[in-house]
Chains A and B, each alone.
Chain A
Amino acid sequence: MTDLTVSDLAVNYGPVRALSGLSLRVPAGSIVAVLGANGAGKTTLLRAVSGTLRFHRGLARGMITFGEARLSGLSAAAVVGRGIVQVPEGRRVFARMTVEENLRAGGLGRSRKDAHRARDQVHELFPVLRERAGQRAGLLSGGEQQMLAIGRALMADPAALLLDEPTLGLAPLVAARIVETIKEINARGTSVLLVEQNVAMALSLASYAYVLEVGEVALEGTAAELAASDEVRRRYLGIADAVEGQLVARTLPRWSA
């Protein structure tokens, strides 16, 4: 099976060191979360995997592999060719193109027939994208844009999906909808590397999680371990001495109320 493995990754933007000595693994078919505050280096990690550091004048050292294939040094297009697709932070839909054209842009590397089939699946997952097919993507709501961004990435039929803060700025109900979709996508066999600041949500989805602090892994463990850890509760869930039930009660309302 194809695991995504990052070992001893260091990234610099000029003189700024954004990541150092970072190692992590996304086992095939799993959901792994990467948590951390603003500026911890979460987006940088995804850029290193997807081959887009060069757009930011960033330089990576270390090893990134997907199964047997080495990803380090590949162009972004080549990484997509290996089956890894990133949904960028802030959705980044092509605002001046229609919803349909956005989806098409995600499936350009595939045969017409495969792209058609992929589009039907995306429509099934997000019916609103079918209804809005001819509309300019810039006119969609934030939630619809996030659905489009995910749908567009799915057009390439990825084996692994990298999601950068997919619920950022979304209303709780819409965020919950995205969470459900991520589960569904994963259930169809796609591995997911999920970057989030919403710790409660991420831990409810993921089986394993890493906590980044200023470019290094500060903590890692199964989602259950981290959710139960005093440190995570204190620092990321804002709870001092909580029992399990209270943890759920106090964090869930943030995104499902």
Chain B
Amino acid sequence: MITFLELLVNGISIGAVYALIALGFVVIFKATEVVNFAHASLLLAGGYLVARLHPYVGFWAALLIGIAAAAVIGALIEFLIIRRANVASHSVLAIVTIGVDIVLTTELTRQIGTEVLAVGDPWADSVVRIGGVTIAETRIVALVTATLLISAFLLAFKYTGWGVAMRATAEDAETAALMGIRLGRVSLSAWAVAGGLAAVAAVFLCVFPTPGLDRSTSLAAIKAFPAAILGGLDSTTGALVGGLVVGVTEAMMSGYQNDLAFLGRGIGDVAPFLVMIVILLIRPAGLFGTKELARV
């Protein structure tokens, strides 16, 4: 029972971090109908900057710089590549983002080499005990931070002019333009927000119990893809639920690995993708989505 609770809390916490990544993914898709395969590299870039800068400026300043830089990189990808690519189809743009991802990730992996970089967070390996349940502080901070960021985002999405413009564009870009909404700005802001969220997520993917940022961090980020897709690529609610489903599934499958030995080792890493496939077979548009991926 104790193990179960620990796994559950850890799963929800990591799920909330996946939700941050998936949310950015969904925002970009809603605003531009582009499936952003460069998302993992944005995340890696944000995390890398935090890891490199914190010895000089301290963790908090490094975090702010990392967030800002990832937002700027996201905006630059939109402004220099997506906006200018004169292609008819959004699928082609998705392939363009794969190219961007390869370039960014290759360069960052080269910089990282074989090192494991600490991100310099103040929580280190402290744990909290509640009853018999032991939880790492980092997991609690991750959960709280992700919850706050997601709430702030959803409130903005619902109530601000930015949110109205975003939703109008997602629903009918041409009519939004007819109403005077600047689609370029909407799209730019979507990429910037997604980049910023990814940088925060990067930090929480690299803190305890993970040893730090290394070349495989972007692989961890890739688990947010099934989160976004199983929730429904165009649904913010879907991103949250998808993130939690993936996080909890992964934590449980890894935690009970020995009991599930018949499924093979490393089932925790594969589980998110299996869940995604099962859900897509039943609901092709994802749990909360309205657009099928096939129509992208």
Interface residues of A (CB under 8 A from B): 50-52, 55, 57, 75-77, 80-81, 85-86, 88, 92, 94-97, 101, 104-106, 108-109, 152-153, 155-156
**Quick check: B182 and A77 within 8 Å, CB to CB?**
yes
The answer to whether residues A109 and B171 also contact, given A97-B164, A101-B164, A104-B161 and a CB cut-off of 8 A, is: no
Of listed B164, B167, B175, B177, residue having the most chain A CB within 10 A = B175
Q: Which 10 A-B pairs have the closest CB atoms?
A: A80-B180, A76-B177, A105-B168, A92-B175, A55-B174, A109-B180, A77-B182, A94-B171, A106-B179, A77-B180
Total inter-chain residue pairs, C-beta < 8 Å = 72
**Quick check: B177 and A52 within 8 Å, CB to CB?**
yes
Shortest distance from the beta carbon of B175 to any chain A beta carbon, whole Å: 4
Q: Which of A50, A80, A92, A108 is the one whose CB lies under 8 Å from B165?
A: A108
Q: Which of B164, B167, B180 is the one whose CB lies under 8 Å from A85?
A: B180
Residues of chain B with a CB closer than 8 A to A86's CB: 178
**Quick check: A156 and B180 within 8 Å, CB to CB?**
yes
The answer to whether residues A55 and B161 also contact, given A94-B167, A105-B181 and a CB cut-off of 8 A, is: no
User: What DSSP secondary structure best describes chain B's contact surface?
Assistant: helix
The answer to whether residues A108 and B179 also contact, given A97-B164, A101-B164 and a CB cut-off of 8 A, is: yes
**Quick check: A94 and B165 within 8 Å, CB to CB?**
no
Residue of A nearest to B180 (CB): A80
Shortest distance from the beta carbon of B74 to any chain A beta carbon, whole Å: 22
Is residue B176 contacting chain A, with contact meaning CB distance below 8 A? yes
The answer to whether residues A108 and B161 also contact, given A94-B171, A97-B171 and a CB cut-off of 8 A, is: yes
**Quick check: B181 and A101 within 8 Å, CB to CB?**
no
Q: Which residues of B118-168 have CB atoms within 8 Å of chain A's CB atoms?
A: 161, 164-165, 167-168
Q: Which of B88, B171, B179 is the one whose CB lies under 8 Å from A152?
A: B179
Residue of B nearest to A109 (CB): B180
**Quick check: B177 and A55 within 8 Å, CB to CB?**
yes
Is residue B259 contacting chain A, with contact meaning CB distance below 8 A? no
The answer to whether residues A105 and B173 also contact, given A80-B178, A86-B178, A156-B179 and a CB cut-off of 8 A, is: no
The answer to whether residues A76 and B178 also contact, given A94-B172, A95-B171, A97-B171 and a CB cut-off of 8 A, is: yes
**Quick check: B168 and A97 within 8 Å, CB to CB?**
yes
Residues of chain A with a CB closer than 8 A to B168's CB: 94, 97, 105
Subset of 10 A-B contacts with CB under 8 Å: A52-B174, A75-B182, A76-B177, A76-B178, A77-B181, A94-B168, A94-B176, A105-B176, A105-B181, A106-B180
**Quick check: B164 and A108 within 8 Å, CB to CB?**
yes
Residues of chain B with a CB closer than 8 A to A81's CB: 180
Cα–Cα, bound, A108→B179 (Å): 8
**Quick check: B167 and A92 within 8 Å, CB to CB?**
no
Cα–Cα, bound, A76→B176 (Å): 9
The answer to whether residues A50 and B178 also contact, given A94-B171, A95-B171, A96-B171 and a CB cut-off of 8 A, is: yes
Residues of chain A with a CB closer than 8 A to B88's CB: 57
Of listed B172, B173, B177, B178, residue having the most chain A CB within 10 A = B178
Total B residues in contact with A, Cβ cutoff 8 Å = 19
The answer to whether residues A97 and B167 also contact, given A92-B172, A108-B161 and a CB cut-off of 8 A, is: yes
Cα–Cα, bound, A223→B168 (Å): 38
**Quick check: A105 and B164 within 8 Å, CB to CB?**
yes
Q: Which of B164, B176, B182 is the one whose CB lies under 8 Å from A104?
A: B164
**Quick check: B177 and A77 within 8 Å, CB to CB?**
yes
Of listed B88, B167, B173, B180, residue having the most chain A CB within 10 A = B180
Residues of chain A with a CB closer than 8 A to B178's CB: 50, 52, 76, 80, 85-86, 88, 153
Shortest distance from the beta carbon of A151 to any chain B beta carbon, whole Å: 12
Residues of chain A with a CB closer than 8 A to B183's CB: 77
The answer to whether residues A105 and B172 also contact, given A76-B177, A81-B180, A85-B180 and a CB cut-off of 8 A, is: no
Residue of A nearest to B183 (CB): A77
Residues of chain A with a CB closer than 8 A to B182's CB: 75, 77
Shortest distance from the beta carbon of A41 to any chain B beta carbon, whole Å: 18
Cα–Cα, bound, A75→B181 (Å): 10
Cα–Cα, bound, A152→B172 (Å): 14
Shortest distance from the beta carbon of B289 to any chain A beta carbon, whole Å: 13
Residue of A nearest to B165 (CB): A108
Shortest distance from the beta carbon of B155 to any chain A beta carbon, whole Å: 14
Of listed A51, A95, A101, residue having the most chain B CB within 10 A = A101
Cα–Cα, bound, A152→B175 (Å): 11
Residue of A nearest to B176 (CB): A105
Residue of A nearest to B290 (CB): A96
Residues of chain B with a CB closer than 8 A to A96's CB: 167, 171
Cα–Cα, bound, A152→B179 (Å): 8
Residue of A nearest to B177 (CB): A76
Cα–Cα, bound, A76→B182 (Å): 8
Shortest distance from the beta carbon of B188 to any chain A beta carbon, whole Å: 13
Residues of chain A with a CB closer than 8 A to B177's CB: 51-52, 55, 75-77
